[in-house]
Amino acid sequence: MSQLTFQQTLDSFTSIEQALDYFEIGYDSKFIDQYRVELVKRFNGYLILEKPQDWFAGRRALKNAYCKVQRSRLDKHSRSACRGCTSCQRR
């Protein structure tokens, strides 16, 4: 897949759910409904910082965004684990 084709694929998404499905990342629809704007902003920010070269880099950017939003909800003063983050690598 060429860079141009991959970028066109990313540009064609009309919802974050489409991106999550494309990158084969499981998600909680209630979480998406509640944190959609923050997740989209963070994902787009990661895409701006580093243009993904392939599917794996795009998936990593989306997983990082999803996990960052999940972890931002945790109590900073406890050792609580990330819950509901089906893509979390930091368990």
Sequence ranges of the domains in the chain: 6-73
Q: What is the pLDDT of residue 27?
A: 87
Q: What is the pLDDT of residue 75?
A: 74
CA–centroid distance for 86 within its chain: 11
Looking at this protein, which amino acid is placed at residue 90? R
* Cβ-based neighbours of 1, under 8 Å, separated by 6 or more: 9, 54, 55
Tens-place pLDDT, residues 43-69: 999 999 988 889 999 999 999 899 888
pLDDT tops 70 at residue 82: no
CA distances from 11 to 18, 47, 55, 86 (A): 11, 11, 13, 25
Q: What is the pLDDT of residue 32?
A: 93
**If DSSP codes are grouped into helix, strand and coil, which group holds residue 78?**
coil
Tens-place pLDDT, residues 5-50: 888 888 899 999 999 999 998 888 898 999 999 999 999 999 999 8
CA distance 52 to 85: 22
